[in-house]
Structure 1
Amino acid sequence: MPTSFLGSALRGTFFFIFGLWWSVRYPLQYLRRKPNAESQPSHGVRRVEIFEGAVKAFFALAGILIEQFIPDGPHLQLYSPKAHSWTDLTSWHYTTMYLFFLLSGIVDIVSHSPLKLPRGLDRLSLSVALLIEGLLFSFRDYSDAALDHHLHSLLAMAIFAGALCALLEIFIRDHIILETFRTGSFLLQGSWFWQIGFVLSPPWGGPGWDQTDGSNLTFLTMCFCWHYAGALAVLAANSAASRCCNESCQLKFGDIDVELDCGMCIHKGNKSSSSALLPEGFSDDK
């Protein structure tokens, strides 16, 4: 099952965009969360969830169309009666993956609509989509390509970690640690998909890395750890930026509130002092 660089880059971009967005959204949401806030999400949070679901569904639908209708794609044909064989199972493999993320996006939209579906259904659908993705990569046919198998085994670790985290979020909602861990798994998936593309089918052409060289396995295992370190660095940087942005906004609006309050106090003080200077009878006449 050969892997194309453009296809791998497309999948990596899908996960990396969501990881970047969550690395900013969740810290801001945590910093602005009130201590005694209700468990139900606010109207603004519901709109954000609906927007995320729409974007997820759009990307997944685009991925399905690209996998099926590229010039060499199967064009929705699963089995060829003439050749008596399956038609391009690689494209069908990724189509199945995108299909469950499409369903997850639709569930996100419906869950936060006025239909009032059970809370946590959106996280359940995301967990199922990730589990299906991990299942597909764990049991695909790698033949004798040891390096290809190793690359996708490392990817499956990030996938199942995100699936477990999303599953826990069904019961433990709005937990910043779980949200951060899931965000890191998406960033790791995104960057690792790009790495897979560079290793198996370099964009500059030519063959990929040697599948039989054991040192490549060792290096790529270290490289996977470096990718996760990079994901943690992105999380830390965006969290710090979100904190600075939140504090600056609070200071800005706090100064405005103080000035308004001071102005009202001064206005009331001038009014009371001026009336106090007037004779008692004159103030009564007014």
Structure 2
Amino acid sequence: MANFKGHALPGSFFLLFGLWWSVKNPLRHIWQKRQRGRKQNLPPFFRKMDLIEGVLKTFFAFVGIMAEQFVPDGPHGHLYSEDWVKLMNWQHSTMYLFFGISGIADILITAPLPVPAGLDRLSLSLALFVEGFLFYFHVHNRPPLDQHIHSLLLVAVFGGAASTMLEVFMRDNALLELFRSSLAILQGTWFYQIGFVLYPLSGKQWNLENHGNIMFITMCYCWHYAVALLIVGINYSVVWWVTRRCEGRQGVETEIGLRKNGHLDSSSQKALLQESDEE
């Protein structure tokens, strides 16, 4: 949709999942790090989170396709009628289609099926690549500022596609997961920025030919990413603090229970001290 809502919809999609990944991935990484040497599988809680993520991704992709196709001025499923019909809406629908495929892959990876490891990351990387591929040919013959603000989006899109492809071969890499989260947040906020620039809700229109506006937008892009990094850092710190506090409280409650039952022998004391040293 060539309006503000058409940019706010994918912006909300990427912002939501970027924030979700910035909490879920650190939580799983911190849990695995504190379970080192114990050979425990991930609890069902994490598998349920992956399943919910896949369902939500598929649902949002379906909503995006329906919104692009059946808005009042949409193509309503018609691709050609004496000429091409609303190709911009069809491009956006194609983008949502591949993210829907990524959501289905997330669901399959949680099912008890012989699904190859890394299928979820591979499908997400392909969805991001398709998004960038479509947007690359999306803004030809447009004013300079319009072309530039969309080309900046491609940096985040192709960067996310490349980093996610690396995750296929480097599973559970905390830095790559945090990098993907920051780029997803950047995509989300930048879609909103594109909407505000090209379709301002109030005030005068931007001069799409002014080089000064291009310079400002480039600087503004860097500010967006700085905020994305700050959000990822804050979320990681909060997750680390909360998990550490919960484990400390659980350890104290365990020690109190053992003392009440008279079972706090020397071996139990030694185990508690070892867990305290690990934390």
TM-score normalised over the length of structure 2: 0.90
Q: Mean alpha-carbon deviation: is it higher for 36-45 or for 181-190?
A: 36-45
Instruction: In structure 2, list runs of 5 or more residues that go unmatched.
Output: 266-279
Q: Mean alpha-carbon deviation: is it higher for 152-161 or for 39-48?
A: 39-48
Q: Give the structure 2 partner of residue 14 of structure 1.
A: 13
Could you say if the C-alpha distance between residues 76 and 13 of structure 1 is closer, same or farther in structure 2, counting changes exceeding 3 Å? same
Could you say if the C-alpha distance between residues 226 and 39 of structure 1 is closer, same or farther in structure 2, counting changes exceeding 3 Å? farther
Query: 1:18 Cα deviation (Å)?
Result: 0.4
- Following TM superposition, where does structure 1 have runs of at least 4 consecutive aligned residues deviating by more than 6 angstroms? none
Pairing 1:45-56 to 2, within 5 Å after superposition: 45-56=46-57
Matching residue within 211, 214, 223 for 1:214: 211
Distance, in Å, in 2 between the alignment partners of 1:92 and 1:79 is 11
Distance, in Å, in 2 between the alignment partners of 1:131 and 1:141 is 17
Q: Give the structure 2 partner of residue 123 of structure 1.
A: 121
Tell me if the contact between 1:54 and 1:109 (Cα under 8 Å) persists in the aligned partners: yes
Could you say if the C-alpha distance between residues 38 and 47 of structure 1 is closer, same or farther in structure 2, counting changes exceeding 3 Å? farther
Pairing 1:220-235 to 2, within 5 Å after superposition: 220-235=217-232
Query: 1:25 Cα deviation (Å)?
Result: 1.2
Distance, in Å, in 2 between the alignment partners of 1:100 and 1:188 is 20
Query: 1:39 Cα deviation (Å)?
Result: 9.6
Distance, in Å, in 2 between the alignment partners of 1:22 and 1:101 is 16
- Does residue 138 of the first structure (1) align with residue 139 of the second (2)? no
Q: Give the structure 1 partner of residue 269 of structure 2.
A: none
CA RMSD after TM alignment: 1.8
Distance, in Å, in 2 between the alignment partners of 1:39 and 1:213 is 59
Query: 1:44 Cα deviation (Å)?
Result: 2.8
Q: Give the structure 2 partner of residue 198 of structure 1.
A: 196
Could you say if the C-alpha distance between residues 73 and 38 of structure 1 is closer, same or farther in structure 2, counting changes exceeding 3 Å? farther
Instruction: In structure 1, list runs of 5 or more residues that go unmatched.
Output: 269-286
| 1:131-170 deviation line (CA, Å, top 9, x unaligned) | 0000011112431311111011110000011101110111
Query: 1:107 Cα deviation (Å)?
Result: 1.0
Could you say if the C-alpha distance between residues 267 and 87 of structure 1 is closer, same or farther in structure 2, counting changes exceeding 3 Å? closer
- Does residue 101 of the first structure (1) align with residue 99 of the second (2)? yes
Aligned residues with identical type, % of pairs? 44
Query: 1:31 Cα deviation (Å)?
Result: 1.3
Q: Give the structure 2 partner of residue 32 of structure 1.
A: 31
The residue type paired with residue 149 of structure 2 is: L
Q: Give the structure 1 partner of residue 174 of structure 2.
A: 176
The residue type paired with residue 26 of structure 1 is: N
Could you say if the C-alpha distance between residues 97 and 256 of structure 1 is closer, same or farther in structure 2, counting changes exceeding 3 Å? same
- Does residue 246 of the first structure (1) align with residue 243 of the second (2)? yes
Distance, in Å, in 2 between the alignment partners of 1:37 and 1:138 is 48
Could you say if the C-alpha distance between residues 63 and 140 of structure 1 is closer, same or farther in structure 2, counting changes exceeding 3 Å? same
Larger Rg: 1
Q: Give the structure 1 partner of residue 73 of structure 2.
A: 72
